[in-house]
């Protein structure tokens, strides 16, 4: 990694950390479980690194196999994480719309 790229990456890291702190401090305790499973699903972004390992040019078969395992686990993380987060958030929204409908 050349120095310019490294410095840019450190900037990205620092700004993302700051942004993350700002955004996540505003999440109410009510939603902490969905928050955790959502950020967990988002960190399944290592899937894109796994995809490269599993299929890109210039990697040996053993790397492809490692990549296959990584793609599988990262996909479980992404699909499972988003799926269950949505299931939870649906429950938090549900009651409100019901009462609204009843009021009308």
**Window 57-96: residues binding another protein (CB under 8 A):** 57-60, 62-96
Residues near another protein (CB under 8 A), total: 86
Identify the CA nearest to 63 among candidates 50, 48, 47: 50
Min dist CB 85 to another protein, Å, is 6
5 binds another protein (CB under 8 A): yes
Min dist CB 104 to another protein, Å, is 17
User: Are 40 and 74 within 8 A, CB to CB?
Assistant: no
User: CA-to-CA distance for 51 and 46, rounded, in angstroms?
Assistant: 9
């Amino acid at each position: 990694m050349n120095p310019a790229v490294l410095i840019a990456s450190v900037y990205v890291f620092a700004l993302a950390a700051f942004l993350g702190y700002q955004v996540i401090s505003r999440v109410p305790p009510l939603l902490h479980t969905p928050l955790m499973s959502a950020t967990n699903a988002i960190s399944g972004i290592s899937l894109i690194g796994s995809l490269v390992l599993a299929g890109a040019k210039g990697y040996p078969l053993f790397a492809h196999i490692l990549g296959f395992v990584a793609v599988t686990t990262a996909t479980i993380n992404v699909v499972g994480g988003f799926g269950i987060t949505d299931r939870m958030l649906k429950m938090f929204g549900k009651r409100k719309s019901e009462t609204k409908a009843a009021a009308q």
